[in-house]
Amino acid sequence: MRVLITGGAGFLGSHLCDYLLERGHEVICMDNLITGSTANIAHLAGHERFLFIKHDVTNYIFIEGQLDAVLHFASPASPIDYLEYPIQTLKVGALGTHKALGLAKDKKARFLLASTSEVYGDPLVHPQREDYWGNVNPIGPRGVYDEAKRFAEAMTMAYHRAHGVDTRIARIFNTYGPRMRLNDGRVVPNFIAQALRGEPLTVFGDGSQTRSFCYVSDLIEGIYRLLESDVTEPVNLGNPEEMSILEFAHKIIALSGSRSSVVLVQPQDARVRDDPKMRRPDITRARTLLGWQPQVSLEEGLRRTIEWFRTRI
């Protein structure tokens, strides 16, 4: 296949570039580098089947020649990013999705949207199934990301129904691994950086809020299986193994060999407004329709991630 990946220099996008190239596909990576980095794709420079284009996908996208698939991963994805870039986050979810879908329609290419578990908001249903409509605050600080992705899903289905575009929607739950930004504000890089520096791990609130963490190689495998399938309805991709943030902090300390302590803090900033109290995917649809489920244990995934961060602290 000849594939365009928007946001291809980001954490997930760069791993997707690697995965597709390893399988013999041709990859066009597009990114405006607002949160992505050329460091994530530097090892691909000079690859005969890889092309990088610096471009903002909220503007018209021109790609010469045929395309078999458009994978739309462009978007700030951590609270610290979308609170700093609220307008850009809304624009890439709305205008960027529109431009990427228009390109897929023109090229008669398959389209895959990287959506998010954040479409469920602070859920009133647990675990979260794809038929749950969510509990989202559209005017809260996190609404710029939540609603951008909800709109992107609606736009994707509109193109599918009105124009017959062959679409896929992946609802991605917390994913971690090498190439996460050290300062991206998410819990995995935060805790690992603090542990490796010997600093206290700062847990917001009482630490009872839950998350589930999927290693990046498992997530990318799920994305590819979804792309290759004929499943047009949204599919949750994530690890259903759930744990509290307090438990997670102690696990990071143990696996890193750190002597750090854990401190509970009560931040007053927008990062934790409307923060989901629970997050765990129901992956029945992915298991049944894609034959997919995570293979990398949390301990093994965290060991790999900690070792990667250890060389960068």
Domains of the chain by residue range = 2-175+216-239+282-290, 187-210+242-280+297-310
pLDDT of residue 308: 97
In this predicted structure, what is the pLDDT of residue 313?
85
Beta strand residue intervals within 167-259, DSSP E: 167-172, 175-176, 201-204, 210-212, 214-215, 235-237, 242-244
Give the percent of the chain with pLDDT over 70: 97
pLDDT band, very low/low/confident/very high, at 307 (cuts 50, 70, 90): very high
Q: Report which residue type is found at 11.
A: F
pLDDT score, position 26: 98
Q: Are the CB atoms for 217 and 15 separated by under 8 Å?
A: yes
Q: Could you tell me which residues come within 8 angstroms of residue 277 by beta carbon, excluding any fewer than 6 positions away?
A: 122, 208, 209, 210
Catalytic residue among 82, 120, 145, 159: 145
**CA 256 distance to own-chain centroid:** 24
When pLDDT is averaged across residues 41-50 and rounded to a whole number, the result is 97
Mean pLDDT of 116-131: 94
- At 36 the pLDDT is 97
Q: What percent of the chain has pLDDT over 90?
A: 92
Residues 6 or more apart whose CB falls under 8 angstroms from that of 285 comprise: 129, 130, 231, 233, 235, 236
Reported confidence tier of residue 104, pLDDT bands at 50, 70, 90: very high
Q: Stretch 242-266: mean pLDDT, rounded?
A: 95
Q: Residue 289, exposed/middle/buried by CB under 10 A (0-12, 13-18, 19+)? A: middle
pLDDT for 270 beyond 60: no
Least confident of 55-69, 102-116, 177-191: 177-191
Least confident of 78-82, 173-177, 237-241, 280-284: 78-82
Superfamily of domain 2-175+216-239+282-290: NAD(P)-binding Rossmann-like Domain (3.40.50.720)
Confidence band, pLDDT 50/70/90 cuts, at residue 245:
very high
Structure tokens at 259: 């002597």
Instruction: Report residue 205 CA to chain centroid gap.
Output: 24
Confidence of residue 272 (pLDDT cuts 50, 70, 90): low
Give the CATH number of domain 187-210+242-280+297-310; options: 3.40.50.970, 3.40.1160.10, 3.90.25.10, 1.20.210.10.
Answer: 3.90.25.10
212-232 burial code (b ≥16 CB/10 A, e <16): bbbbbbbbbbbbbbbbeeebe
Q: Angle at CA 98, nearest 5°, toward 123 and 137?
A: 25
- Residues with Cβ within 8 Å of 41's Cβ and at least 6 positions away in sequence, in order, are 8, 9, 14, 17, 29, 50, 52
Residue 80 has what pLDDT?
92
Band of residue 259 on the pLDDT scale cut at 50, 70, 90: very high
CA quadruple 5, 11, 12, 14: dihedral positive or negative? positive
Which 3 state secondary structure label does DSSP give 17? Answer: helix
The pLDDT score that the predictor gives to residue 185 is 87
Q: Which pairs count as long-range contacts for 299-304, CB under 8 Å and 24+ apart, including other chains?
A: 299/251, 299/255, 300/215, 301/176, 301/177, 301/213, 301/215, 302/176, 302/251, 302/252, 302/255, 303/255, 304/177, 304/178, 304/215
Annotated catalytic residue 82? no
Average pLDDT, rounded, for the chain:
95
Cβ proximity of 307 and 177 under 8 Å: no
pTM score of the predicted model: 0.95
Output the six-digit token pair for 137: 């605050």
Out of 124-128, 261-265, 273-277, least confident range: 273-277
